[in-house]
Amino acid sequence: VFGYRARAVGDNETVAKLSGIGVQRVKMLAFVASGVFAAFAGLLLMVRTNSASGSMGEPFLMEALAAILLGGTSLMGGVGGPSRTVLGVLVISVLSNGMNLASVDPFLQQTIKGAVLIAAVALTLNRRELSSVK
């Protein structure tokens, strides 16, 4: 039920409010869930590296954005979803792992991942323009 309400609020807050959904409550619960998942991810990273720092997750930010955009979710509002995002994560993971196994220079890896991110954004913008033309 929460997922349907969150999607309704994300699609159109006014219509969700007129439908009897507590928009502020749904937003608050979504932010709380986001914080809980972020804390859990931070704990997993801390356990994996045996250390803790406030900026430990920064290297993963570009990869996370690239995976989400490759999955089809646009930053302007898109048609992505959990299954598509998982596919994006798999593509980025295979790309990263393949470059590590091929001993590609880390700076070149970042450049390649940045190019993939730019391509994903260009594809989502192109799809959006095409859908507005119809």
Residue among 103, 109, 24, 32 at smallest CA distance from 66: 109
Q: Are residues 98 and 130 in the same domain?
A: yes
**CB distance 69 to 128 below 8 Å:** no
Phi, psi torsion values for 106, nearest 5 degrees: -55, -35
- For residue 84, what pLDDT is reported? 83
69 and 50 both lie in a single domain: no
Longest CA pairwise span in the chain (Å): 56
Q: Mind listing the pLDDT tens digit for each residue in 69-114?
A: 888 777 766 566 788 889 888 988 999 999 999 999 989 998 998 8
Are 36 and 65 members of one domain?
Answer: no
**In this structure, are 50 and 83 located in the same domain?**
no
Q: Number of structural domains, the chain?
A: 2
Please check whether residues 62 and 110 belong to one and the same domain: yes
pLDDT at 94: 92
What is the span of the domain harbouring residue 33?
A: 1-55
Residue 79 DSSP one-character state: S
**Do 87 and 117 share a structural domain?**
yes
Quick check: 128 pLDDT over 80?
no
Its pTM surpasses 0.85: no
pLDDT digits (tens, 9 = 90+) for 1-39: 888 899 888 888 899 999 899 999 999 999 999 999 999
Q: Are residues 63 and 99 in the same domain?
A: yes
